[in-house]
Structure 1
Amino acid sequence: MTPQDIGRRATLRIKLPDGRFRDIVGVLETWEGDIIRVRRRDGTVTEVTSGEVVAGRVVPQQPPRRRAEPNT
């Protein structure tokens, strides 16, 4: 994953201060210096530093949600 992936959907694994890990999935909004901003599905923007990221990759766009079929 690089700054050239701005606008693409990605998953980032970050290391938390307590040693645990957390995954963030969303569209890469910006990557300026070592600050990465990701827009999540609910519209919120999460900001992390590149030093917190231990892994990341571009993933396919989220498929459209299926509408529930009526019971027949």
Structure 2
Amino acid sequence: MKLLRELPLGTRVVVRYRIEDGFTDALGDLVARDDVSCTVQTRRGPVVVAFSAIALAKPVPPPPARKSGGGPPPAL
């Protein structure tokens, strides 16, 4: 996939790729690549995806900021 070969490492991406039963996605930071695959650091850990299995890929914006708090919602 040409896009993933050109994006700077550290770019947040979503990659849809083929698995045995269909497709799945990896969402996270592009952390490594070589001639045949790329690695996306997801919340669950690194996912290595072969370029030949990729159906779609694109850069995505950073995740939204978490709201602080944890208490009850404000009264109306």
Normalized against structure 2, the TM-score is what?
0.79
After TM superposition, the runs of 4+ consecutive aligned structure 1 residues lying more than 3 A away are none
What is the RMSD computed on CA atoms of the aligned residues? Answer: 1.6
- Which amino acid is the alignment partner of residue 39 of structure 1? Q
Extract unaligned runs of 5+ from structure 2. none
Extract unaligned runs of 5+ from structure 1. none
**Mapped partners of 2:64, 2:43: distance in 1:** 12
Structure 2 residue 69 is matched with structure 1 residue 60 = no
Matches within 5 A, 1:1-72: 1-5=3-7, 6-18=9-21, 20-42=22-44, 44-68=45-69, 70-71=71-72, 72=74
Structure exhibiting the larger radius of gyration computed from Cα positions: 2
**Mapped partners of 1:28, 1:3: distance in 2:** 10
1:31 to partner: Cα distance? 1.3
Task: Among all aligned residue pairs of Structure 1 and Structure 2, give the percentage whose two residues are the same amino acid.
Answer: 21
- Which amino acid is the alignment partner of residue 43 of structure 2? R
**Mapped partners of 1:37, 1:69: distance in 2:** 34
Structure 1 SS opposite 2:63? coil
